[in-house]
Every structure is written in structure tokens, then in C-alpha cells.
Chains A and B, each alone.
Chain A
Amino acid sequence: MTQTRQAADAIANDGRGKFPKHKLEELRGRGYVMFCVLLLIVIIFSIVYFIASRGLTPFASQGVSVGEMIGGLKWSPEADTPRFGALPFLFGSFATSLLAAIIAAPLGICAAIFMTEMMPKVGKNILQPAIELLAGVPSVVYGFVGLSVIVPFLRDVFPGQGVGILAGGIVLSVMILPTITTVATDALRSLPAGLKEGSYALGATRWQTISRLVIPTTLPSLMTGIVLGIARAFGEALAVQMVIGNAPHIPHSLTQSAATLTSIITLSMGNTTSGSLHNNALWSLALILLIMTFLFVFVVRLLERRVKHA
């Protein structure tokens, strides 16, 4: 420690004549930041390259067509004539994440309104830490709670085995609640105070102010929170895998066994040997997930642009 400091001082002292100390610091700091950024870029590109190179192999050299993968209904990778239709998983992924957003968005936005507009003190001291705590719970715990509480409950109330999109959506809605609430709270807090005061000055009630002014003004930011929540739900694997049932078919009801892209990847990845067609097809599913995530990021960017224009 002291050695580092001495060395640093020595370099600084040596160069004092022609090279001022603050310039050296500037250079060092810049070098460090540049190194980190470069490393980050290399890592990101390696990940994309790795997933793409594995995920494209089934299409490029193993005779699977893109159309079959995206539009096919039958997934039987270990059969004598393997089939790789991933449409049921795409359906399952979208259905569970949208359902989770439908459940979590009103809860999260109401919580945010409560914390910023109605009782900021209670919100800041109790509700917000409590909701943020939800983000720290490991997903296997959510999965197990879902399996032990939600699935038996759904099985008793609805026909079917309890597993399925409804169970997955409920588990995911709790998991994405912190994302939606945090983004919504930040958006509501950043609203200029003058706007609300103006509304009150015109004689509007608190409810009128919230419903006609606060929500419409912050809507793009609220939407950003919801899209981020959907993106998180889309990529979640373990908790969903435990409660959704994982049958590779499009279900006819919300309480019938279904599967998502992530649940199929986590189920089968370890049991297949790398380089086999089945394994590569799983990488193709991962590639689809990656592309979907890109799309979600793109949507968030678009929404952010709208915020700036507004």
C-alpha cells in the first residue's frame, strides 16, 4: 500500500519539471477508464459472437431451417428424425412475461404514486426498502415458493395441475415488481414541482392532479419501467422452470403445462454434449433470447427519446 503511494509519488515528482502532476493523474485516470471500457466492449462482443456462432450452426450446416425453428410447433430433439419447432416456447415466454407485466404494472405504479404523491415519508422509509428487498431474493426461492404455495393453490381453484402460464406469470410479477416500482418512482420524483403546484393552484384535487397531470406526463417513463420489467421476466429461467410445467406445446388454458425459451434451455443444456445438434439448437434458442433482449433495449431507447422530446 505505502509502496504504491511512494511509487506514485516518485513518478509524479520525477515528472514535475516538464509534466505537471495533475496532468499525469488525468492521464492515468483516463487510461484506467479506457481500459475498463475496452474490456467491456470485448466481453460484450465475445458473448454475442459465441452465442451467434453456436446458435447459427443448426441453420448453416445441420439442416434446420429458420422457418421451422420460429414457426414450428413440434419440439422433439432426441427423436429419430429430430424436429425443432420453437413456437410453443416463444408463445410461452411472451405469455408469461406479458401476464407478469399486467399483474405487476398497476401494483408497481400505484406503489410509486403512493410513495411520491401521497405519503412520501412512509414510502421512502418503509415501502421502498421493502419492495427493493424483493429484488435481492434468489430466483430459486421464488421458484420454490411458487411450487409450494401458488401451484397447489391454483390446482385447488382451477381445473388442471396448477402448473402453467398463470403460475409462471404470478411468480414473475413479484420478481419484476421492484424494477417497475423503482423506475416509476424515479420518474414521478423527477417531475418539476411547479407543474403540480400549478394544478393545485387551479383548484384541482389530488386525484385530478395525479390522473390528469402526473400520470400522462410521466407515461413514457412508466412505460420504460414496464418494458424493463418484461425484459427481466423474459430472461428469467429458474423460477419459471419450476412452476410452468415445461411441456413443449401451446397450452389451451392458463393452468395447462407450458414452456418458455429459458426453461427449455436450462432443462436440457447440461444433458447434451457440446457440438451435438440438440445442444446447438439450444444455443439457437439462446440467440433468439438475445435478439429479443436487443429489441427490448431498442424499445426502451425509443421511449427515452420520447421523454426528451416531451
Chain B
Amino acid sequence: MKKSLLVLTTLALGISLAACGKNDNSNNASNNGASSSAPASAAISGAFSAAGSTALQPLVDQASKKFMDLNKDVTITVNGGGSGAGLSQVAEGTVQIGNSDVFAEEKLKDADADKAKELVDHQVAVVSIAAVSNKDVGVDNLTKAQLVDIFTGKVTNWKDVGGKDQKIVLVNRPASSGTRATFENFALGAKSEDLPDSITEDASGTVRKLVSETPGAIGYLALSYLDDTIQALKYEGVEATAENVASGTYPVWAYEHMYTKGEPDGALKAFLDYMLSDEIQGTDVKDLGYIPVSDMKVTRDVEGNVTNK
């Protein structure tokens, strides 16, 4: 009895010690890395976490690592979880930054509308979404009306929109997804239905795989996910490129938001400023397939009204 208890305590101690050791190591490693890069501008310190949109996560992740290299005393934790979870958590104060693909007012409605008022919006990038299809459908351009017909199930064969005689297979995102909301709002101008026989997947990688492999498939993806296994469709004759989005000719785009509860200060403010600095906007934002906010010649408000800058 006693021996087993001792073994248990040893194990527990050992595990906790090992865990401590690991943390120390990783801290040291990041500190060492920091000393080699540029010296920190001013001594800022603090620890905070960001959670939410998986579409924005790679950018925040990369930027936070760079920021922590520059400022040794700042610890930033970045998690995913989805836009809704990010907004809930920042409103409740569980995390300091809530990442979201949509305006907080669109998610926090009705009883939660008060929560949205407390949140401060920081638009750090623009993400554009293109309709994509399997390569063999024989169509490379769709009008808004044709897209609406396809995504509401009125048109079920590619030959009706000028393509091959092939059944259309819809690959959708979940009804609550920010990407789907952007596509519905700005490409269709209407809500789409979850039709029988359609496929719904949450991960963009899975959507791309299914569209590339399923004959007659159509879906939509952020520009960062486009590659040559699928065909990006022109929208009303306009190609989905960063230039067309920035100039306002390609309308299917949305801001990536980083929400804070109240105005940020200290390290939090420094990090959000860093997100908007040329160092991130000019390199990481573009590398990861987003469009820098500073490039945009148009702005859009929560109601979707687009105005020239």
C-alpha cells in the first residue's frame, strides 16, 4: 500500500517536474532567438491570448511569433475555435483578442447586442473568396444570377449554364461559417439552402480536395486556398485577384477582424499596431494569401455599404 502510494507521488512529482522543465526550455529557446533579432523598441511586457477564426489563425500565429521575438517579455497564445467562439470568449473576457471573419454585430444579435457594443474592431486584413469548380465542368465564368440558381438548386446541370452535360454537386460550408456568410452576402446576395445531396465540410482543405476530385463539383474558397487542382471561376467576368479586390471591382471579400473588449492598451495595443505595421502587412499578410487593409481603395461598413476611400 505504502509503496504504491510512494510510486504514485513520485510519478506525479516526476511528471510535473518534467512539464516545468519543458516550459523552461521552450522559454529559453524563444528568448535566445529574440536576442539575435532587432532589439525591442521599448520594454513592453504582458501575456494575453487570442482565439477564434481559423481563417485568420495562420496570420495571427505568424505575427505573434515575430512580435514575441522582438519583445521578450510578451507572451501571446493563439488558438482557433471558430469566429463565434472567438467573439463569445472576448466578450466574456476569457481571451483578450477575439478573431472573427464577420462583424461582431452580425454574430452577437438580439439579446447579445449589448455585448457587441463593448467590443472594439481592429480590421487587420481582407480575405477574398472565389467560387471554385472541378476542372472538367466546361465553364470558367458565372454571373451572379447563375450562381444564385446553382446554390438554390434551380439549376442542377452544368449544361444549363453553358458547360458540359454533367450533374452539379454543391460543396458548401456550414450555415454558421463566416466564409459562407461572405459568399452569400456579396456573391449571391441571398441566403443559400442546404439542399439534399449537397456536401458540407468545415475545413477549406477538405472542400478543395472534394471539389478537385468530385466530377461536377462547385464550391467556394478563400484565395489563399486556390491552386491548380481546382478551377477558380470568374464572377461576372471579373477574375478573383488581389488587385481586383483592392480596386473594388471584385466584390466578394470581407475583413478579418481582431476584436478587443474596450480600447486596448500596453502590450495588447502594441501588438495590434504591429499587426497593421508595414512589417506584417507588406510581407506576412501577402505571403499567406490575404490582402493588406492599406491596399484597399474601398471600405465597407457593417451594413455592407461600399465607399471609396
A247 near B195 with CB under 8 A, answer yes
Q: Is the interface of B mostly helix, strand, loop or mixed?
A: mixed
Contact mask B158-172 → A, CB, 8 Å, 1/0?
000000000001000
CA distance A259 to B202 in the complex (A): 13
> Could you say which residues of chain A place their CB within 8 Å of the CB of B40?
none
Contact mask B187-222 → A, CB, 8 Å, 1/0?
000010111111111100010011001100100000
Contact mask A1-38 → B, CB, 8 Å, 1/0?
10011001000000000000000011011001000000
Contact mask A141-153 → B, CB, 8 Å, 1/0?
0000001100110
Q: Quick one: which of B112, B176, B202 has the most chain A CB within 10 A?
A: B176
B128 at the interface (CB under 8 A from A): no
Identify the stretch in B1-9, B240-248, B289-297 within 8 Å (CB) of chain A at 4 or more residues.
B1-9
In the complex, which residue of chain A has the Cβ closest to the Cβ of B101?
Answer: A271
Q: Quick one: which of A26, A147, A152, A257 has the most chain B CB within 10 A?
A: A257
In the complex, which residue of chain A has the Cβ closest to the Cβ of B51?
Answer: A270
B199 near A269 with CB under 8 A, answer no
B156 at the interface (CB under 8 A from A): no
CA distance A76 to B213 in the complex (A): 28
Contact mask B67-96 → A, CB, 8 Å, 1/0?
000000000000011111101100110000
CA distance A8 to B7 in the complex (A): 13
Q: Quick one: which of A147, A257, A271 has the most chain B CB within 10 A?
A: A271
> Could you say which residues of chain B place their CB within 8 Å of the CB of A256?
196-197
Contact of A270 among B85, B112, B200, B210 (CB under 8 A): B85
A257 near B197 with CB under 8 A, answer yes
> Could you say which residues of chain B place their CB within 8 Å of the CB of A211?
none
B88 near A271 with CB under 8 A, answer no
B264 at the interface (CB under 8 A from A): no
Within 8 A of A (CB), among B10-35: 10, 13
A275 near B88 with CB under 8 A, answer yes
Interface size class of B (residues with CB under 8 A): 35 or more
Interface size class of A (residues with CB under 8 A): 35 or more
Contact of A247 among B1, B2, B80, B200 (CB under 8 A): B200
> Could you say which residues of chain B place their CB within 8 Å of the CB of A155?
213-214
Chain A's nearest CB lies how many Å from the CB of B212?
A: 11
A75 at the interface (CB under 8 A from B): yes
B194 near A272 with CB under 8 A, answer no
Contact of B9 among A4, A147, A151, A246 (CB under 8 A): A4
A152 near B206 with CB under 8 A, answer no
A120 at the interface (CB under 8 A from B): no
A46 at the interface (CB under 8 A from B): no
> Could you say which residues of chain B place their CB within 8 Å of the CB of A72?
none
> Could you say which residues of chain A place their CB within 8 Å of the CB of B5?
28-29, 32
B141 at the interface (CB under 8 A from A): no
A79 near B191 with CB under 8 A, answer yes
A77 near B214 with CB under 8 A, answer no
Within 8 A of B (CB), among A246-300: 246-249, 251, 256-257, 259, 266-276, 278-279
B65 at the interface (CB under 8 A from A): no
In the complex, which residue of chain A has the Cβ closest to the Cβ of B81?
Answer: A270
Chain B's nearest CB lies how many Å from the CB of A249?
A: 4
> Could you say which residues of chain A place their CB within 8 Å of the CB of B169?
161
Q: Quick one: which of B80, B83, B84 has the most chain A CB within 10 A?
A: B84
In the complex, which residue of chain B has the Cβ closest to the Cβ of A270?
Answer: B82
B1 near A273 with CB under 8 A, answer no
A109 at the interface (CB under 8 A from B): no
In the complex, which residue of chain B has the Cβ closest to the Cβ of A250?
Answer: B196
Apart from A161-B199, A162-B214, A257-B196: 13 A-B pairs, beta carbons within 8 A = A1-B9, A28-B5, A76-B193, A78-B175, A160-B197, A163-B199, A245-B199, A257-B197, A270-B84, A270-B85, A271-B85, A274-B84, A275-B112
Residues of A within 8 A of B (CB): 1, 4-5, 8, 25-26, 28-29, 32, 75-79, 147-148, 151-152, 155, 160-163, 241-242, 245-249, 251, 256-257, 259, 266-276, 278-279
Query: Which 3 residue pairs spanning A and B have beta carbons closest together?
Result: A270-B82, A271-B176, A246-B200
